[in-house]
Amino acid sequence: MSSGGIQSLPRRATGQTLLRPIIWVSMNDSSKISPSPSGKVWPQWIASLIIHILSLLVGLVSGWTSPFLAKLTKGTETLMITEDEASWIASLFSITRTVGAIFAAVIVHKFGAKKAVLFNGIPHALAWLCFLIKESVPWIYTARLLSGFAVGMYYSTFPLYVGEIADPKIRGTLISVITQGIVIGTLLGNLIGAYVSMTTFALISIAMTAAFFFGFIVFPDSPHY
């Protein structure tokens, strides 16, 4: 079986022929994940569970704010900030979300949904590295800007990839499983942040980012790219 085909459909009224593209993946074609109903769905589940890690990271970004702004304003961390600086740290996150979403659209168009999802790991990793350095408030500003950029990319990329690879029968389930990671990550961020330092929190997040990146990089592009 070839990796794609075109099926001819007769048009009775005019005698012309309609061409309808049919996309499938043969059993020996390992370069794509296929949504073919005759194929196995476990690769789609594994890919979605790895993207679930990315959702956890998005939740951690949101959950970070509450415990650590309290610690930073009270001076219990190595760096102390003012109330005005705390307000900026909380709000900068939202500024770059739109930029990230627009950038994601460009990446999807140019390189495909899979590479766009994978690219999410880069701003996440850079943001947590800035939290590790945290020698001054601008480092935290930069981290929050990068985090917002990553979150904007996340919402614009993962639904496209899952929509392209998933069997229609389980597509909704996969997206639901992935998005639940945001809620879980936010809860974990609040709980973990209350008991660990900013450095430890950043190290945990970097480890999760690496797990996502190196776990997802081995997956192929979708059949649509």
pLDDT tens for the chain, residues 1 to 225: 444 444 444 444 444 433 333 333 333 444 455 554 445 788 899 999 999 999 999 999 999 999 999 999 988 888 889 999 999 999 998 899 999 999 999 999 999 999 999 999 999 999 999 999 877 899 999 999 999 999 999 999 999 999 888 888 899 999 999 999 999 999 999 999 999 999 999 999 999 999 999 999 998 887 766
Tell me whether residue 75 is in a domain: yes
Residue 28 token pair? 């020996």
Tell me whether residue 186 is in a domain: yes
Tell me whether residue 98 is in a domain: yes
Domain residue limits at 114: 40-216
Alpha helices in 75-193 (DSSP H): 83-95, 97-111, 113-119, 121-133, 137-165, 171-193
Under DSSP, the state recorded for 9 is: E
pTM reported for the whole predicted model: 0.79
Tell me whether residue 153 is in a domain: yes
Tell me whether residue 31 is in a domain: no
For residue 176, the model assigns a pLDDT of: 92
Domain count, the chain: 1
Q: What is the distance, to the nearest Å, from the Cα of residue 12 to the centroid of all Cα atoms in its chain? A: 47
For residue 65, the model assigns a pLDDT of: 92
CATH number at residue 99: 1.20.1250.20
Instruction: Give the DSSP H or E segment for 211.
Output: helix 198-216
Tell me whether residue 104 is in a domain: yes
Tell me whether residue 92 is in a domain: yes
For residue 32, the model assigns a pLDDT of: 52
For residue 39, the model assigns a pLDDT of: 56
For residue 8, the model assigns a pLDDT of: 45
Tell me whether residue 21 is in a domain: no
